[in-house]
Amino acid sequence: MCHNQAMTHRLNDDSSLAQRLSLALASRNLDDLGALLSDDVTWGDVTNPRGCRNRSDVLATFSRLLDFGVSGNVTELSTGSEGILVGLEVTWPEDSPREADTSLFQVYLVRDDKIVEIRRFDDRTSAALVAGLRT
């Protein structure tokens, strides 16, 4: 289970961290993304062998997805009191066992100006609540 740590830096709409995240995702630049992540960032179920437990795991997962031909476009980026909500349209390669296109949301939880946890959501309402957005 992913740990939930309180954010000590409050984000606002013009957060440079949110802008840098948006640019890193749009450009698919893993070096830029890595600079935004805490050393102990988590993504997914860390009790699962495929869960990400640190920066290297997260970057390796992003790299594998890109190498496999997965592409994503940011459809929304909003900052809340707990983190950054990112709406994504993900396109999987035709030979993938997954759906060809998927709409999803990720919340990048922030502490001390670093992303400490990434969580996936299938609906915006749940993601907005975790990100600390006023709905």
Whether 92 is in a domain gets the answer yes
What average pLDDT does the structure give for the chain?
A: 86
CB crowding 107-124: b at 16 or more within 10 Å, else e: bbbbbeebbbbbbebeeb
Write the pLDDT tens digit of every residue in 6-21.
Answer: 333 344 444 589 999 9
Q: Is it the case that residue 100 has pLDDT exceeding 70?
A: no
pLDDT for 21 equals 96
Whether 70 is in a domain gets the answer yes
Sole residue written with tokens 């949110």: 18
pTM of the full predicted structure? 0.85
pLDDT for 134 equals 82
**Count of structural domains, the chain:** 1
Listed in sequence order, the residues at least 6 apart from 1 whose beta carbon sits closer than 8 Å to its beta carbon are 45, 46, 47
CATH number at residue 35: 3.10.450.50
Q: Is it the case that residue 107 has pLDDT exceeding 60?
A: yes
Whether 4 is in a domain gets the answer no
Residue ranges making up the domain that contains 78: 16-131
Confidence of residue 135 (pLDDT cuts 50, 70, 90): low
- Show the tokens assigned to 68: 């496999």
